[in-house]
Amino acid sequence: MQVVTRYLDGVPLVTVFVLEVGGVKVAVDPGPAALYSPLDVDVVFCTHIHLDHCGSAGHLGKPTYVHERYTRHVVDPSRLYEASRSVLGVFAEKFGRPLPNDKVVGVADGARLLDAFDAVHTPGHAPHHVMYYYRDNKILFAGDGAGVHIPELGVVIPTTPPPFRLDLYLQSLDKLRGLDVEVVCYPHYSCTRNVDLLRRHREQVETWVEVLRGRLDLAIEDALRLLAKEDENVAKIMNVGGLYLDFYLRFSVLGFMEYLRQSASSS
């Protein structure tokens, strides 16, 4: 398997995985439009259509597999881009505007792709999130449905920007227990055989909920400091700062708090 890392401002942003299955070269999550470079592939699998993962698929001009209910946003990405700008601001602009892509293939939950990959609908991070399980090699391409794995820091943190659905996210993590996984490949940023990270991440999410629930009036910076006392992963990221803090952590806490506020107001 070939690993291609896309860098933003000198920092890893997304890892593209390229592998050949049955004579077909597949790229998983090709990265953002602004960081496009050619890939020698036949098809593209996008775990979801967020700009940092699937934004360059139109540049590649290859059949692109995404969740079946969201193909229209690949064919015409204009609304997706504007919605991303409203949430991510300058980061959406740094990721770049996707090109229209009419070579899109809708993926249903449980679909078998290329007679090798099982599609697992795993909403929460996004309603259109799909993981791809390469059954023969027991590899799970997890997208953003199981957090961000930063091996040089030894951390896993959620990536849960608004609109985040905690209930669906936890259900999706539970769904993975039925898979015989030996390797987890995170587009942020590497593959690992430490599949226990999936279990630990679920516990981490529950910890975040316990810390933040009842403190929903806190500013993001105060919420981060509170989380850092209970989650060493957060503390490590805060010490490093940069993209890991500004893009992943801050937006993730915002997504958690918005979900918890909405849940509290509707109960």
CATH number given to 2-196: 3.60.15.10
- What pLDDT was estimated at residue 176? 96
Tell me how far apart the alpha carbons of residues 194 and 204 are, in angstroms, rounded to a whole number: 16
Q: Where are the domains of the chain?
A: 2-196, 204-266
- What pLDDT was estimated at residue 266? 81
pLDDT per 10-residue tile (average), the chain, 267 residues: 94 96 97 97 98 97 97 97 93 96 97 98 98 97 97 94 96 96 97 97 97 94 97 97 94 96 86
- What pLDDT was estimated at residue 267? 66
- What pLDDT was estimated at residue 162? 94
pTM for the full model? Answer: 0.96
- What pLDDT was estimated at residue 132? 98
- What pLDDT was estimated at residue 265? 85
Dihedral (CA of 71, 118, 141, 18) sign: negative
- What pLDDT was estimated at residue 59? 97
DSSP state of 97: P
Tell me how far apart the alpha carbons of residues 46 and 122 are, in angstroms, rounded to a whole number: 13
Element (H, E) at 256: helix 250-266
Residue type, 77: P
Structure token digits, residue 114 = 């290329």
CB distance 182 to 139 below 8 Å: yes
Give phi and psi for 230, each to the nearest 5.
-105, -20
DSSP for 100-134, written as a single string: P---EEEE-TT-EETTTEEEEE--SS-TT-EEEEE
Tell me how far apart the alpha carbons of residues 34 and 22 are, in angstroms, rounded to a whole number: 31
Give phi and psi for 55, each to the nearest 5.
-60, -30
